[in-house]
Amino acid sequence: MTDKRFFAAREAMSLGEIARRIGAILADGVDEERTLDGVAPLDAAGPRDLSFLDNPKYASVFETTRAGACIVHPRFAERAPRGLALLLSEQPYRAYAVAAQLFYPEEVVGSDTYGEKGIVHSGATVHPTARLGDEVTVEPGAVIGAGVEVGSGTVICANASLSKGCTIGKNCFIGPNTTISHAHIGDRVMLHPGVRIGQDGFGFAMGLPRHEKVPQLGRVIIQDDVEIGANSTIDRGAGPDTVIGEGTKIDNLVQIGHNVEIGRGCIVVSLTGISGSAKLGDFVVLAAQVGVTGHLTINTGAQIAARSAVLHDVPAGQQYGGVPAKPIAEWRREVVELRKLGRRKKKTESSDE
């Protein structure tokens, strides 16, 4: 449920305003002046809440919901309970996401964690040469090094560390215990707790009598509107920069090696590892636990299934899966044939007994 101790909604909004802002159409007979206070799931919503239905699996819950209004695809309109105001949308989940942003805008960009926004706390350490924009929040225990630049409206949470020379854009959220070095970060970037940006890439000239460390002399460049999940790590480049493209979303516990280039609008899901010098085009999707070998290219729009190992370049727009990753249809045929082989073997063993 939405606990008001943690999530403070803005003022009530009318159904007419909501519909206009999310691109939905009010069903016939709906009072556009009626107001709502927030959003809630179908089974927990009350008369002052907005909910949504996207997955047909929950249609029976929709039929009994107590929500004041609901965003639905037109095909479900006839199943609505009496008195439920409908906002009709071809993309209910996306429309709901925008509506939730309207009620809880701070949850989109990240909010302070200590409870004193817009001030530099006396318990923080800020180097005299650091430059902070207007309305920057710096919470207790944060350390901001020499020459660091932080744009207006950015929140630096408790115990975060910004090493010398780094730049952070406007309206960013730098979560608790985050460390940033050798990095330039754009506007509206969210780094969740424990993110590590800009540490050494794993580079060694291996051999006897010892492995010689290769100095990592590049940077990390994070473009606008990127979000990086808790405890993910992005190594700085060895010479070329490591680059995360505009609008890319990275889940928790992801490891990105040195010199990696990730394009715009990519999705990288938890426990994925991307080896050094790999390149991802725009709008690539890597599902959970994918492993990507270094020095290869996954081209624009490609999608990689969970727990796959990418060993070779992937063409644009293709779906790959398996170990090693191959076109998804081929991989599925192999899985089916292996299952059949296993059943035949089991049947043969049973008949021998």
What amino acid positions are annotated as catalytic residues? 258
For residue 191, count CB atoms less than 10 angstroms from its CB and return exposed for 0-12, middle for 13-18, buried for 19 or more. Answer: buried
Please name the amino acid found at residue 256. I
Supply the angle between the helices 15-22 and 92-103 in degrees, to the nearest 10. Answer: 120
**Helix and strand tally (H, E) in the chain?**
5, 39
In the three-class reduction of DSSP (H, G, I as helix; E, B as strand; rest coil), residue 298 is classed as strand
β-strand pairing of 204-205 with 227-228: unpaired
Helix-strand-coil split of the chain, %, nearest 5: 20, 25, 55
In the three-class reduction of DSSP (H, G, I as helix; E, B as strand; rest coil), residue 5 is classed as coil
Please name the amino acid found at residue 340. K
Element (H or E) spanning 25, and its range?
Answer: strand 25-26
Integer CA distances (angstroms), 323 to 15, 79, 108, 319, in order: 50, 44, 36, 14
Dihedral in degrees, nearest 10, Cα atoms 344, 346, 348, 353: -170
